[in-house]
Amino acid sequence: MKRGIKYLIIMVVMIITIMNSYADGHILAFHRFGDDRYSSSNITLEDLNEIVDYLNENQYKVISLNEIIEKISKKEEISDKIMCITIDDAYKSFFDNGLEVLKRNNFPFTVFINTEAVDKNYTDYMTWKEIKEVSKYGEIGSHSYSHPHLTKIGNQKAMDDIQKSIEGIEKKINKKVKYFAYPYGEYNDEIKWMLKSIGMQGIFNQSLGAISGESDIFDLDRMAISNLSGLKWKLKIKYLKAHWMNVEREENYIKSIKVEIDKSIKKVQVYLSGYGWEKVDVENGIIEFKINKELRNARNRVIIKTYANEWSNKLMMKK
């Protein structure tokens, strides 16, 4: 009997280990490097080096956005050792501190640039000369012109702002801009559609999630990273294939959601920003959940998480 219990415990530990060790690929987002004046958007060089050592020691493979998008387009399986690195905002601290580390490790990367700050020589931002130098080693994407809250300024203004940035980058570095990352990670369906219509080949948000061959290349999850322990738990997040059939909303009140997921999943947890997680039963692959809550923040997320740690996100902007 005692032996039986021992085996049972070993089996449970093994299952938990397997569940935790297999995930999908991930895209990391960084902002400032070694700039201790800003704790929330900065990674210290000690933390960066610790992460780089961890990735190398654990055989992670850093690939470019071109490569991961090609894999997704072919619906290839994306291993949990695949990773992409992106950097937002064109801060000078990337040029001064971050670039060298990525170069030394042969890690490809993409920098998303908000071009007004560069055009107007704001302090703390790279110059065009520096960005040109960066573009020898990594790709340059757009992060808008003036870094606005895109969902708040009206569609025409949003479109003009985005296009001004893309044209500016293409003129200065003489390469086509293919990728866009939302300022503040804020977007809605109309902004996403707009970016697709002007030929963006990959769009990047800032929501916790993983990348699989079934990801939407126009809505790719990126995770902000500031230290190794944060990285470790975020790398365990897996991709959940979910079809968001309906989100019933009245102004800033969310009434209900209806989401289709795999029929084998019987229970999930649902999260709304400011309220926490709730256990929800799944009926024949359909999650029908009455949320009945008011949005509390400017940016809110509804997250569905399975017990195998697969995540799917929906961003809800307060109006």
Chain residues binding Zn ion by CB under 5 A are: 88-89, 183
Task: Compute the distance between CA of residue 126 and CA of residue 99 in angstroms, rounded to an integer.
Answer: 12
Q: Least distance in Å: CB of 129 to Zn ion?
A: 21
Q: Least distance in Å: CB of 202 to Zn ion?
A: 17
CA 1 to the chain's CA centroid: 48
Q: Can you name the residues that pair with 88 across neighbouring β-strands?
A: 112
Please say which residue, 88 or 310, places its beta carbon nearer to Zn ion. 88
* Residue 126 near residue 114 (C-beta atoms within 8 A): no
Residue 165: exposure state from Cβ atoms within 10 A (0-12, 13-18, ≥19) = buried
Task: Compute the distance between CA of residue 4 and CA of residue 276 in angstroms, rounded to an integer.
Answer: 38
Q: Can you name the residues that pair with 224 across neighbouring β-strands?
A: 29
Q: Least distance in Å: CB of 187 to Zn ion?
A: 13
Q: Least distance in Å: CB of 182 to Zn ion?
A: 8
Please say which residue, 25 or 141, places its beta carbon nearer to Zn ion. 141
Q: Least distance in Å: CB of 143 to Zn ion?
A: 6
Please say which residue, 35 or 89, places its beta carbon nearer to Zn ion. 89
Please report, for the chain, how many H helices and E strands are present, in that order. Answer: 10, 18
Measured CA to CA in angstroms, residue 110 lies from 69, 131, 295, 296 at distances of: 13, 11, 33, 33
If you search the block for the tokens 């365990």, which residue do you land on?
A: 236
CB-based contacts of 189, cutoff 8 Å, min separation 6? none
Q: Least distance in Å: CB of 91 to Zn ion?
A: 9
Beta strands in 53-109 (DSSP E): 61-62, 82-88
Beta strands in 31-81 (DSSP E): 32-33, 42-43, 61-62
Please say which residue, 102 or 113, places its beta carbon nearer to Zn ion. 113
Task: Compute the distance between CA of residue 63 and CA of residue 141 in angstroms, rounded to an integer.
Answer: 16
> What number of CA atoms fall less than 13 Å from residue 206's CA on the CB side?
20
Q: Least distance in Å: CB of 181 to Zn ion?
A: 7
Q: Least distance in Å: CB of 133 to Zn ion?
A: 21
Measured CA to CA in angstroms, residue 71 lies from 63, 65, 67, 158, 227 at distances of: 11, 10, 6, 30, 28
Please say which residue, 184 or 271, places its beta carbon nearer to Zn ion. 184
Please say which residue, 47 or 88, places its beta carbon nearer to Zn ion. 88
Three-state SS at 190: helix
Please say which residue, 10 or 298, places its beta carbon nearer to Zn ion. 298
Please say which residue, 29 or 99, places its beta carbon nearer to Zn ion. 29
